């Protein structure tokens, strides 16, 4: 992978040393009694009363020695392996949003189960997407079951790796129970994981009871974790970019240390989603160049620690509310910057509007951008054949390369044909309806939804999944039968 380093090795060392001083001198709060006891037993300076942990440098460094540099995820059927931490970016679709930009490109509305199934169908049929974040919280089921409902839908109709997360630790535990329907035994559950856990610290330098529970659950179940620290510069972290990244580093290292103490060797992705406040209205800005600079620094710090590095809902993200010029510019800029800085595991395509909404059309537009970036990262092939001296000699001055046999041989190898972006002549564009990106993306989405088959579970596993879901909903005071009409026949 070609990489551009936004931080020097000396600067990364300074950030690390500052993070260690935060952990040893300031400390970090863990609002979870079991975590406090684990840290105390491991040799940290713990105040049970204040729920404050000061983590010594040697404990952090031991954790960094045991965390693996790469690991594998598997699809639902365990027929395809995705290596996280190798030289390729593993692209994921958007995260936990509460709205959807409708196909008209203007209306932002509440999502439904049908929208969620459409998203999973779409992402399963886009070649460069390797995994899928949980997706929208739908509004046609009660809020109390929305987090388990979307994961249940994910297991039913989506084959690519995903996240088992919910809104709280109870959701995570129940979603892990749902996972047992697609893994026949504990060995496959651990060695061929389908789902990852996403523990997120609460800036500044604290972990809530539920977020700490995510750390513990991940370690105890031996499930991979994608940690995501989200400092909000100027509000929940220092306004300076370096200060925000240093605080983020401390937050991530604290979670990493706890998980490695519990289960040395647990796979962990070092991730983040830095933002900053627009001081005109204190809005949360993720699509700016400064936000991307901080996130690029996060990617580099992950590699500095020899860990897979990742992002949370900011790869291809835009602050725009529509699929417009701003959306394309911010999405392309973010994808390129983070890819050049060595991002391994990312998601966020299709996300816009302050991480409030998803757009199916933006998913395919962002996917198109990523195809171009992946091509760019491969570079130009240089060989005797591609330098084409013999071809140039044969054609000669003022000759015609169009009819030369090497042109037909190489044009598909050398050049990527866009699915949505328009590069045809003006007359061809007019003859084909003079369509813009939103309209063409909409047609592309509909073509997939109308022609692709649902990626259903096998009948027996589907029956097993329904049985577990029935039990989970019963505990919560609901009946699965009341919501089966929302599903396709």
277-297 pLDDT, tens digit each: 888 888 878 888 898 899 999
**Boundary residue ending a domain (378, 404, 424):** 378
User: Are 205 and 118 within one domain?
Assistant: yes
User: Are 393 and 374 within one domain?
Assistant: no
User: Are 70 and 190 within one domain?
Assistant: yes
Cβ contact 72:224 at 8 Å: no
**Boundary residue ending a domain (343, 362, 378):** 378
* Crossing angle (nearest 10°) for helices 241-262 and 57-66: 70
User: Are 145 and 253 within one domain?
Assistant: yes
User: Are 425 and 370 within one domain?
Assistant: no
User: Are 185 and 282 within one domain?
Assistant: yes
Q: Give the H or E element holding residue 73.
A: strand 71-74
User: Are 343 and 373 within one domain?
Assistant: yes
Does 121 map to a domain? yes
**Boundary residue ending a domain (433, 454, 472):** 433
Does 462 map to a domain? no
Q: Residue 114 sits in a domain of what CATH number?
A: 3.20.20.480
Does 440 map to a domain? no
**What is the spatial distance between Cα 90 and Cα 103, in angstroms, rounded to a whole number?**
27
Total domains in the chain come to 2
Q: Which domain holds residue 424?
A: 386-433
User: Are 328 and 413 within one domain?
Assistant: no
The pLDDT of residue 3 is 55
Which residues are CB-contacts of 483 (< 8 A; sequence separation ≥ 6)? 113, 141, 149
**What is the spatial distance between Cα 112 and Cα 98, in angstroms, rounded to a whole number?**
10
Which residues are CB-contacts of 109 (< 8 A; sequence separation ≥ 6)? 99, 100, 102
Does 470 map to a domain? no
User: Are 353 and 404 within one domain?
Assistant: no
User: Are 178 and 232 within one domain?
Assistant: yes
The closest alpha carbon to 195, from 76, 44, 357, belongs to 76
User: Are 287 and 391 within one domain?
Assistant: no
Does 260 map to a domain? yes
Peptide bond into 263 cis (omega under 30): no
Does 55 map to a domain? no
**Residue-by-residue pLDDT tens, the chain, 489 positions:** 455 678 999 999 999 999 999 999 999 999 999 999 999 999 999 999 999 999 999 999 999 999 999 999 999 999 999 999 998 889 988 777 888 889 888 888 999 999 999 999 999 999 999 998 877 889 999 999 999 999 999 999 999 999 998 889 999 999 999 999 999 888 999 999 999 999 999 999 999 999 999 999 999 999 999 999 999 999 999 999 999 999 999 999 999 999 999 999 999 999 999 989 888 888 878 888 898 899 999 999 999 999 999 887 677 778 888 888 888 888 888 888 888 888 898 888 888 876 788 899 999 999 999 999 999 988 999 999 999 999 999 999 999 999 999 999 999 899 988 888 888 888 988 898 888 888 999 999 999 999 999 999 999 999 999 999 999 999 999 999 999 999 998
| Residue at token pair 């406090």 | 36
Cβ contact 102:111 at 8 Å: no
Does 454 map to a domain? no
User: Are 406 and 266 within one domain?
Assistant: no
């Amino acid at each position: 992978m070609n990489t551009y380093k936004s931080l020097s090795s000396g600067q990364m060392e300074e950030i690390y040393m500052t993070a260690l001083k935060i952990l040893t001198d300031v400390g970090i709060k863990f609002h979870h009694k079991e975590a406090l006891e684990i840290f105390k037993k491991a040799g940290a300076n713990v105040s049970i009363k204040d729920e404050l942990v000061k983590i010594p440098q040697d404990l952090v460094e031991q954790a960094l020695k045991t965390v693996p540099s790469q690991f594998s995820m598997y699809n639902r059927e365990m027929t395809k392996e995705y290596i996280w931490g190798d030289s390729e970016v593993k692209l994921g679709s958007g995260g936990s949003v509460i709205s959807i930009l409708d196909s008209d490109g203007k209306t932002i509305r509440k999502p439904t189960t049908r929208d969620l199934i459409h998203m999973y169908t779409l992402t399963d049929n886009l070649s460069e997407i390797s995994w899928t974040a949980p997706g929208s919280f739908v509004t046609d089921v009660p809020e109390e079951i929305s987090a388990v409902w979307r994961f249940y839908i994910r297991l039913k109709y989506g084959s690519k790796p995903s996240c088992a997360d919910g809104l709280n630790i109870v959701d995570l535990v129940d979603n892990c129970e749902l996972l047992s329907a697609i893994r026949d035994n504990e060995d496959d559950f651990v060695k061929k994981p389908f789902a990852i856990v996403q523990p997120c610290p609460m800036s500044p330098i604290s972990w809530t009871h539920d977020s700490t529970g995510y750390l513990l659950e991940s370690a105890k179940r031996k499930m991979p974790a994608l940690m995501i620290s989200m400092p909000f510069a100027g509000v929940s972290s220092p306004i300076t970019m370096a200060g925000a990244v240093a605080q983020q580093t401390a937050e991530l290292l604290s979670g990493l240390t706890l998980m490695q103490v519990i289960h040395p060797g647990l796979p962990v992705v070092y991730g983040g989603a830095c933002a900053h406040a627009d001081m005109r209205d204190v809005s949360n800005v993720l699509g700016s160049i400064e936000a991307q600079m901080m996130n690029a620094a996060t990617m580099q710090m992950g590699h500095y620690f020899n860990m897979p590095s990742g992002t949370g809902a900011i790869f291809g993200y835009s602050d725009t509310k529509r699929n417009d010029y701003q959306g394309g510019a911010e999405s392309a800029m973010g994808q390129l910057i983070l890819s050049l800085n060595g991002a391994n595991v990312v998601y966020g395509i299709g996300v816009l509007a302050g991480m409030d909404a998803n757009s199916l059309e933006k998913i395919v537009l962002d996917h198109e951008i990523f195809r171009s970036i992946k091509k760019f990262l491969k570079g130009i092939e240089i060989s005797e054949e591609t330098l084409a001296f013999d071809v140039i000699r044969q054609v000669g001055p003022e000759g015609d390369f169009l009819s030369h046999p090497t042109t037909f041989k190489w044009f598909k190898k050398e050049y990527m044909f866009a699915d949505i972006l328009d590069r045809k002549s003006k007359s061809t564009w007019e003859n084909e309806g003079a369509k813009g990106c939103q309209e063409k993306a909409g047609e592309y989405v509909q073509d997939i939804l109308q022609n692709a088959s649902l990626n259903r579970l096998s009948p027996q596993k589907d029956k097993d999944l329904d049985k577990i879901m029935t039990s989970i909903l019963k505990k919560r005071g609901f009946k699965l039968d009341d919501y089966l009409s929302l599903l396709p026949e």
